[in-house]
């Protein structure tokens, strides 16, 4: 069985979010990046299937040179091969553009299972997985909290409201977008990181995938015009001063509420 895992490298969750000069994205210079948290759970799920038997895990990602680091980390955790689409022409793609790039890889790789995170920690769009499934022509489901395989089917518990789970059954090949918390994600071992250096990492361009002119900012129908902090309307009153003063203020308020 072959599993393709789509990864996105995103600004670290604790990174400073300063707006760039154009006012349309954040300043990426000097901040740390990491693998999108949702995608790490997808990779872990793939690696568990690999550990349980015969499966090849191919990781794919799109982005500039820095993305190499994310792919090396994934290889260090146990993925077998990586595909990196590194091309300025892809920059500025909207979700459908990104899905087209991943679909071209998926069509070449022909995986039995595509796994990825439900959404990204930066854009929070939650758009690419169902789009990719449509472009590849396979069934999909999202927010997976349990994935079981039997015969040619995958049975998925997906998170719905109120803590309930909805069970969907998909025929293989299929795509499953996972929710955080589906598993406990492993760390790359030192041995794994050493071994990762020898694993194949293919670099591709839009032209290699037959997508020249079909992706990137020019093809995008969805563009961020402005990025700004949310309006600060009814913000909390902030207590200032030393720890003692702040605590005095808090205790005073809790007393006022009649709870102390």
Partner 1 sequence: MGSILIVAEIQGGKIREASYELASFAQSLAGASGRSVASVVMGASIGALAEEFAKRGGGKVYAAEHAALAQYNAETALVAIKAAVAASGADLILISNTPSGWDVAPRLAAALDAGFVSDCFQIAADGNGLVLKRRVFNGKLDATIRATGEKVVASVQPGAIAPFTGQAAGSVEKLAVSLDPAGQKSRFVGIKQSEAKGVDLTKADIIVSGGRGVGDPAKFPEVIKPLADALGGAMGASRPVVDAGWLPHEYQVGSSGQVVSPKLYIACGISGAIQHLVGMKTSNYIIAINKDPDAPIFEVANLGVVGDLFEVVPALTAAVKTAKGG
Q: Restricting to residues 158-177, name those near partner 1 by CB under 8 A.
A: 158-171, 174
The neighbour count for residue 70, using CB atoms within 10 Å, is 24
Whether the Cβ atoms of residue 143 and residue 158 lie closer than 8 Å to each other = yes
The neighbour count for residue 148, using CB atoms within 10 Å, is 11
- Helical (H) or strand (E) element with 120: none
- Interface with partner 1 includes 250 (CB under 8 A)? yes
Closest C-alpha to 46, from 165, 142, 177? 177
- Interface with partner 1 includes 114 (CB under 8 A)? no
User: Could you tell me the smallest distance in angstroms from the CB atom of residue 181 to partner 1?
Assistant: 4
24, 41, 100, 70 alpha-carbon torsion, rounded to 10°: 70
The span of 55-63, 65-73, 84-92, 231-239 binding partner 1 (CB under 8 A) equals 231-239
The span of 44-52, 56-64, 178-186, 196-204 binding partner 1 (CB under 8 A) equals 178-186
- Interface with partner 1 includes 237 (CB under 8 A)? yes
Instruction: Please pick, from the candidates 134, 203, 205, 214, the single residue that binds partner 1 as defined by CB under 8 A.
Output: 134
Question: Going residue by residue from 80 to 109, which x/- string records binding to partner 1, judged by CB under 8 A?
Answer: --------------xxx--x----------
Rounded Cα–Cα distance for residues 178 and 118 (Å): 5
Cβ closest to partner 1, residue 76 vs residue 117: 117
Whether the Cβ atoms of residue 72 and residue 51 lie closer than 8 Å to each other = no
- Interface with partner 1 includes 140 (CB under 8 A)? yes
User: Could you tell me the smallest distance in angstroms from the CB atom of residue 85 to partner 1?
Assistant: 18
With CB under 8 A, what is the number of residues at the site for partner 1?
83
Look-up of token digits 């998909």: 170
């Amino acid at each position: 069985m072959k599993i393709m895992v789509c990864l996105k490298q995103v600004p670290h969750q604790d990174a400073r979010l300063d707006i760039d000069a154009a006012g349309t994205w954040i300043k990426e210079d000097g901040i740390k990046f990491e693998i999108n948290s949702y995608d790490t759970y997808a990779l872990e799920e793939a690696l568990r299937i690999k550990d349980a038997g015969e499966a090849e895990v191919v990781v794919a990602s799109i982005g500039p040179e820095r993305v190499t680091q994310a792919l090396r980390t994934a290889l260090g955790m146990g993925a077998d091969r990586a595909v990196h689409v590194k091309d300025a022409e892809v920059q500025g793609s909207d979700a459908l553009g990104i899905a087209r790039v991943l679909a071209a890889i998926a069509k070449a790789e022909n995986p039995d299972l595509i796994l990825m995170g439900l959404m990204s920690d930066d854009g929070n769009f939650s758009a690419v997985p169902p789009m990719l499934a449509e472009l590849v022509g396979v069934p999909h489901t999202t927010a997976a909290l349990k994935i079981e395989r039997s015969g040619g089917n995958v049975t998925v518990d997906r998170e719905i409201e109120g803590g309930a789970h909805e069970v969907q059954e998909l025929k293989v090949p299929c795509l499953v977008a996972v929710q955080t918390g589906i598993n406990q994600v492993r760390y790359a071992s030192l041995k794994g990181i050493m071994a990762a250096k020898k694993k194949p990492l293919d670099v591709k361009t839009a032209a290699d995938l037959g997508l020249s002119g079909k992706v990137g900012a020019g093809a995008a129908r969805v563009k961020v015009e402005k990025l700004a902090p949310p309006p600060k309307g009814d913000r909390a009153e902030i207590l200032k001063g030393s720890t003692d003063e702040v605590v005095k203020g808090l205790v005073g308020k809790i007393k006022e509420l009649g709870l102390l």
